[in-house]
Chain A
Amino acid sequence: MDISFNRVSYIYQQGTPFEHRALKDISFSLNKGEWLAIVGHTGSGKSTLLQHLNGLRQPTEGEVKVGDFHLSKKNRPKDMKQLRKHVGVVFQYPEHQLFEETVQKDLLFGPKNFGIDESEFETRVHNALAAVGLHEDVLERSPFELSGGQKRRVAIAGVLVTDPQILVLDEPTAGLDPMGQKEIMDMFYHLHQTKGRTTVSVTHDMEMAFTYADRIIVLENGQKLIEGTPHELTQQETLLQQAKLDLPERISFVNKWNQRNSSQLDETMPISELAQKISQELKEIKDQ
C-alpha cells in the first residue's frame, strides 16, 4: 500500500488556551516496499504524524491517503478496522499493551478483533513467534512472568500476527541494551526485505535511520525540514544541527576526513573497507 500526506496539519485542543499546532503543512509520499524514517527531536511532531497512519488521529487540515483509505477532517473511513488491520503499529514500550493470561491469548487478541478466520490462527501464531525469535514454549506461559526482552518480543509478535502490509515503528527499541536494539531492528529489516513490507519508523536515533531507511524526513517544530536519502542528508549537516540532530559518527568522521585531506571516501561502503582505505591514505600522508 502506498502512503501519501497532502498538506497535513494537526492542531491539538483547537479553540482552547492549550491550542497547539503539532504538524504544519506536511506533504510527502511513500511507495510500497520503501522504508521511511521520520527523525526529529522530542516535540517535533513525529509521534503525532505516526498516529495519522492508522487513523488514530484525523488531520485538522489536509488529507492522508493510505492505500484506498482517505482521511481528512471530515472524512473518516467507515471500515477503520480494515485500515488498522493493514497498518501494524509497534509503539514505544510495546510490552505495556500485554494483558492476557497467556502469551497465546495475547497474540490472538489482534486476529480476533480483526475477524481473521480461526483456521489461520495456528500458522499465524507460529510465524509471528518465529519472526521475533521466540520458542513455542512461551505460548502457555503468562506474559507477565517473562523477562523484559521476551515481553517486548511477545508484544511485537502480537502486532506481526495480523500480517500488516505497512509496519509503523515508534522507537520500538527504546530502553533495550545495544545488542537487543540491533537484534530487534535487524528483525524488522529482515521482515521489510523478505516480505516487501512498507515500513515507517519514527526515531531520534540518526544512526538507526541511516542504517535502515531508504529515505529520511527530518521534522522540526511540526514542519518538514529536510527530505532525502541518507546519502543526500550527509550534505546537510548545518540544517541538521538546526534541528539539533547529529549525523552518525561514522558519516561525520568521513565528512571531516574528506574535508581535511581533500580525499573522496564514500561513507556508504562497509566499515572494514573504509578502515582499509583510511589506513592506506594515512600511509600516503606519512610518506609525503
Chain B
Amino acid sequence: MTPSFLIGQYISTGSVIHRLDPRIKLVMVFIFVFIVFFANHLYSYVLFSTFVIVVALATKIRLSYILKGIMPVGIFLLFTFFLHVVMTNEGQALLTIGPLTIYTGGVIRGIEISVRLFLLVFFTSLLTLTTPPMAITDGLEKLLSPLKKVGVPVHEFALMVSITLRFIPTLMEETDKISKAQASRGVDFRSGSLKSRAYAVVSLLIPLFISSFRRADDLALAMEARGYRGGEGRTNIRALILQKRDYVAMILYGLMILLFIFVQS
C-alpha cells in the first residue's frame, strides 16, 4: 500500500461527519461540485473555504494528513494554473517571456480555477475519508433507485461496484504477495530494459489473473449457495434511515448555500 495516496481510503474516527447518512453526504458533494463553479466572488471563496475547513475539523482526522493525501492532485492543479496563466489574454500585460505574454486576467483566472479545483478535491476526499466504500454504494443505490422504474439495473450496478470495492484490498494484498515471491526469484520490477520489465510484469499479472478468476468463482458459488437471486424483493441489512443529525446537517448546508447566493448577487 502506498500511504501517500489517500483518495478513497476510509479512516474511522467515529465523528459526527462519519455517522451522517451516506445519501446526505453524496448529495452534498454533488451539489458542491456544481455550485463551486458558479463562485466568482472573493467572499464566495472565503465562505466555501471556511465551510470545508470546518467540516474537515469536525471529522477529527488530522488536517495535515488530509492535505498530504490530496498532494498528488497538486501537480494537476499546478498544471491547470499555468495553462490558464499562459492561455488567457485578458487584462493588463504583466510581463513577456519570448513569445509568451502573461496578463493579469490570466493570473486571476488561474488562481480562481486552482482554488475551485482544490476545494472540490478536498471536499470529495472528505466524503471518502469518512464514509466506508460499502456505505457509499448503499447510498448510491438508494439515491438511484427511482431509475429502476425505467429499467436501469441499479441493484446490479451497485452490487458490481461493491464487489469491485470489496476486492481492491484483497487484490492489493495478493499483488504484494506475488510480487514478493517473484522478487525472491530475482525479478527486478524497478530497473532493467523495457523488455525485461515487461516480462517482470507478466510474471505478476498472470498469477493475479488466475487468482482473480478463482476468487470470482468462489464468490459466485458462495452467493448461490446462500440463495442470492438478484435484487428483486431484496432488503438491505443496513437500512438507511435519516436521523436528527442528518436533518441538522441538511439545514446547515442549506443555510450555507443561501449565504452563497446572497454573497454572489
User: Chain A: residues with CB nearer than 8 A to chain B?
Assistant: 13, 15-18, 51, 54, 56, 81, 84-85, 87-89, 91, 94, 96-99, 109-110, 113-114, 144, 158-159, 162
Contacts and interface: CB of A to CB of B under 8 A. Distances in A.
Interface of B is mostly: helix
Nearest to A96: B207
Contact of B180 (A17, A56, A113, A144): A56
A85 B207 contact: no
Contact of A89 (B3, B184, B202): B184
Interface of B: 1, 3, 11, 61-62, 65, 177-178, 180-188, 202-203, 206-207, 210-211
Contact of A17 (B11, B185, B186): B11
Contact of B185 (A18, A113, A144): A113
Given A16-B3, A99-B202, A99-B206, A84 B183 contact: yes
Contact of A51 (B61, B180, B188): B180
B180 A109 contact: no
A96 B186 contact: no
B210 A113 contact: no
A144 B181 contact: no
A89 B182 CA distance: 10
Contact of B184 (A88, A98, A144): A88
B3 A91 contact: no
Contacts of B206: 99
A85 B1 contact: no
Contact of B177 (A15, A16, A96, A113): A96
A16 B177 CA distance: 22
A192 B232 CA distance: 60
A52 to B, nearest CB: 12
A198 B62 CA distance: 47
